[in-house]
Amino acid sequence: MARWVEPMGLLHGRGAFAAVAAGAALPLEGGSAAFTLVRLIEDGRAAGLMPAVETPEDWQEAVLALTRPPRPFAGLPDMASLGRPLVMGVLNVTPDSFSDGGKHFDPRAALMAADAMLTAGADMIDVGGESTRPGAPPVDAETEMARVLPVIRAIARDAPVSVDTRHAATMRAALEAGAEVVNDVTALRHDPEALAVAAEAGCSVVLMHMPGTEPATMQEHAHYADVTLEVTEFLAGRIAACEAAGIPRERIAVDPGIGFGKTMEHNLELLDRLPILLGLGCPILVGASRKRFIGTLSGLKAPADRMAGSLGVAVSAATRGAAMLRVHDVAETVAALRLWRASVAGVPQS
C-alpha cells in the first residue's frame, strides 16, 4: 500500500517562522520554508487537503519526516550549513551534448572549465562522456572511458567529482580514478553489473527517473496518468533495489529527471510538486539547466541563451526542497542562490 504526503501551502522566510511559532505550519526540511497544508495520497488516491498540524495519527510519522533536514551527501556540507543547495557543475566531455557538446571535448579545455566552475563556487563537478540528449546515439564504455578518465583523475586531486554514466565498466574505472559519486540517468538499471559496482565501491549514487534505459527513445514513453506520483513510486522502487544490493539510503540521492521522457507540462508539474519527493528520505537533485522546455517558455532556441530561465528554475527548485542543483552556469547560480537566501533569511550570506 503506497502512501505519500504532499506538502502544500508553502511559506518562506519570516512568514514561515511566524507560522511555525504560532502552531499553524510545520518546517519544511527544518529550514526557512514551512508548509501549512498536506495532501494525503494512498494507492494513488488523494484524501483531500487538510492542515498540516491536524494530520491523522497514523499519518503523522510520514508528515514529520518532511520536517527533518536532508542528510549530507557524499561527504559534502549539508544545505543547513551552506544556506543553499549544493551546486554541481556540468562538464560534458563529448562532441554532441545538447548545450556544450564539443566545447570541452579537449581534456585541456575540460580542465580549464572545471577550474573556472570550482572557482565560481561549484561544490562538485559532474563529468560525462556520453550525450543523453533526446535522440543521441549510444556510446560504448571504452569510448566513454577514454573521454572521461583523464579529466576525472585530474579534477579529483583537488575537488569532489561525480561520473555521469550508465555503464558499469565506466563506473568502476571512474571510481578508481577518484570519482566519489555515480550519477546514472537510468537509476542503475541499464547495466546489470551497476548495482554491484556501486555497492562494492561504497560510493554515493544519484538515481534519476527516465522511462526506459535508452535516451535515444525516452521521449516516445512520455505518457503518465500522474507524472509526479509515478516518478516518486519509480524512485522508491529503485531505492529499495539499491538497499537490497547493499547501498544504504544514506548514500542515495534522487533526481526526478526533468526533460528525460517528459513533456513541458510534465516538467512544470514535477517542479511545482517537487516537495512530495522529500518523503523518499533522500536528498533531491534537480537538473533543469538550459533544458528545452526553458527555451520553449522563454522563446530562446539556443541552449546557451537560456541562462536566465535556468536561474529561475534553480531558485524555484531551491524553494521546494532541492538539496542539489546540476547546472551549466555555476557563478550565476551561486549568486542567485545567495540573493534568494538573503531574501528569505533577511541577512547576507557569505
- Residues serving a catalytic function are 291, 326
Query: Three cell numbers at 19?
Result: 507560522
Whole-angstrom Cα distance, residue 191 to residue 161? 21
The cell 557569505 sits on which residue?
Answer: 350
Which residue bears the cell 513541458? 264
Long-range contacts of 235-242, Cβ-Cβ distance < 8 Å, separation of 24 or more: 235/187, 235/207, 235/209, 235/277, 235/280, 236/2, 236/280, 238/187, 238/188, 238/189, 238/207, 239/207, 239/280, 239/282, 241/188, 241/195, 242/188, 242/195, 242/198, 242/199, 242/205, 242/207
What is the 8-class DSSP label of residue 254? E
**Cell numbers of 169, please?**
565498466
CB 90 within 8 A of CB 185: no
| Alpha-helical runs (H) found in 178-291 | 194-201, 227-245, 264-272
Looking at the chain, the number of H-run helices and the number of E-run strands are 12, 12
